[in-house]
Chains A and B, each alone.
Chain A
Amino acid sequence: MSVPAIDVRNVTVHYGDVLALDNVSLSLAPGRIYGLIGMNGSGKSTLFKTITGMLRPDHGTVTLAGRQPALARKAGAVGYVPQSEDVDWAFPLSVRDVVMMGRYGHMGFSRRPKAADKAAVAEALERVELTDLADRQIGQLSGGQKKRAFVARGIAQGATILLLDEPFAGVDKRSEGTITTLLRELAAEGATVLVSTHDLNALPKLADEAILLMRTVLLQSTPAEVLKPENLARAFGLDVTAGDAA
């Protein structure tokens, strides 16, 4: 097997006295989409924060694209699509401005965009079909377009690891389909995509594998296996079926 894109070994994270991640180990291969599911408070956001470098684990190691995480991040390997509620949508930035932020790691001290940066941004916008809306203020996009704008930021960045935190919350079915297709294309080109989602029904279409998280990894397997009621029950409590777990 090739070098894992995300290799998490025995990671433990505490918030004060609260145990958020307990000895989590994960190995995610390039070119695949992984669905991350678990209840609120199961550690999904904490896992993302550990990968993006917001949190330093108490124990354990994270390796990204076969390198030390700080080096991989500096090289632009990690793209992040935030949850909608974590974004200030009234912020006075255009779609193009936001996508350009993906290039900052490749720019000089004052982050003045060069021709190559502008070209990468234009290409990324084209790729997610937002070229016509590039000069809109970000809050003026629909739910699905907003997500695509942030995916474009990851594309412009050249990210090989793409993290999406609840990308389908507040997004209609058609946009969800568009985003899924886009992510499948990116995975086919070699990107590793990790998506946290509450939408269990969409999981088989979206993901190659699913990860069931409850402070620790309960199960990493095919979506069909993970979605079996007896497995979901372990993560969400009893009497939960695939339909109404969200």
Chain B
Amino acid sequence: MNPLDFLLEPLSYDFMVRALATSVTAAIVCAVLSCWLVLIGWSLMGDAVSHAVLPGVVLAYVVGAPFALGAVIFGFLAVALIGIVRNTSRIKEDAAIGIVFTTLFALGIVLISVTPSQTDLNHIIFGNLLGVSWADLAQVLILGAITLTILLVKRRDFTLYAFDATHAHAIGLNPKVLGAALLGLLALTAVVALQAVGVVLVVALLIIPGATAYLLTDRFSRMLVIAPVMSALAAVTGLYLSYYLDTASGGMIVLVEGCIFALVYLFSPTQGVIGKRLGAMKRQRMLAAQ
């Protein structure tokens, strides 16, 4: 098979085109958000919110409301509950996060089991990339575009929030509003990514791209380019691999993300475990040659 056919053959199926568009959109939106999450130290929070939206999505399905609405409500509910447990008991934050999100996730699973539905709601949990409808894709594109626009237009404020919230206060901005906005966007992003990889694996898309980009550059503005490019590449590669190897598409995408991270972790010229040494050896050789 020539390489062009290799790339084009899957695209002759409509479901593959939709899967590709959905996964690339989800990958890009998640990757941009992940740049802030890894720097603020909100990876666990991302994990929590992306799981906790499940009952919200199921309830939204039951009453016929937009999934995004249910997701945002339960996203904030999760964050509020985590804050309450942490602040009003001796329980530490990681335990509070673990308790709240697993309980809400379990609630979602129970709700799914009692909800009669045409479509299989279990797909929300593991994703169903190959079963994405045109309507699903439209929702992903619209939500993705909204989320991405807000993130990019207000990116300097979010970075200020992540870096120095006290300064934000001192110049009259409200860091609480910025933090709440990021959490709301996190919930929206989770909805975008549900279709692609499912609740369980969303967190991978929300952490790995930002972490990978952070190992490659000292400039936040470049992270915002590297992370989505890397993640979109991973989504495309993962989807093609799943097509030809006949494996789970969501899982394959996350596996590719993980492999790219591993390569960068080892070979990044400035931060990589091996790459740093190779760079140092090269500099020494050049010095010796002079």
Nearest chain-B residue to A74 (Cβ)?
B172
Binds B, one of A32-40, A85-93, A124-132: A85-93
| Distance between Cα atoms of A49 and B168 in the complex (Å) | 12
Do B166 and A52 have beta carbons less than 8 Å apart? yes
A-B CB pair tally, cutoff 8 Å = 77
Do A91 and B171 have beta carbons less than 8 Å apart? no
**Chain B nearest CB: distance from A140 CB in Å?**
8
Note all chain B residues with C-beta closer than 8 A to A92.
39, 214, 217-220, 222-223
| Distance between Cα atoms of A98 and B162 in the complex (Å) | 12
Q: A92-B217, A94-B219 are in contact. Are A87 and B173 (CB under 8 A)?
A: no
User: Does B163 sit within 8 A of A, measured CB to CB?
Assistant: yes
Note all chain A residues with C-beta closer than 8 A to B171.
73-74, 76, 78, 102, 104-105, 157
| Distance between Cα atoms of A111 and B178 in the complex (Å) | 14
Do A109 and B153 have beta carbons less than 8 Å apart? yes
Nearest chain-A residue to B162 (Cβ)?
A91
Q: How many chain A residues touch B (Cβ–Cβ < 8 Å)?
A: 33
User: Does B156 sit within 8 A of A, measured CB to CB?
Assistant: yes
Nearest chain-B residue to A93 (Cβ)?
B220
Note all chain A residues with C-beta closer than 8 A to B217.
92
User: Does A2 sit within 8 A of B, measured CB to CB?
Assistant: no
Do A105 and B166 have beta carbons less than 8 Å apart? no
Contact among A53, A70, A88 for B39, CB-based, below 8 A:
A88
User: Does B170 sit within 8 A of A, measured CB to CB?
Assistant: yes
User: Does A143 sit within 8 A of B, measured CB to CB?
Assistant: no
Q: A88-B39, A94-B219 are in contact. Are A52 and B170 (CB under 8 A)?
A: yes
| Binary B-proximity of A78-113 (CB < 8 A = 1, otherwise 0) | 111010001110011110011001101100011100
User: Does A116 sit within 8 A of B, measured CB to CB?
Assistant: no
User: Does B159 sit within 8 A of A, measured CB to CB?
Assistant: yes
Do A70 and B219 have beta carbons less than 8 Å apart? no
Note all chain A residues with C-beta closer than 8 A to B218.
92, 94, 137
The 3 closest A-B pairs by CB, nearest first: A74-B172, A105-B171, A111-B156
A-B contact pairs, 9 of them (CB 8 A): A70-B172, A91-B39, A91-B163, A92-B222, A93-B163, A97-B220, A101-B160, A105-B172, A137-B218
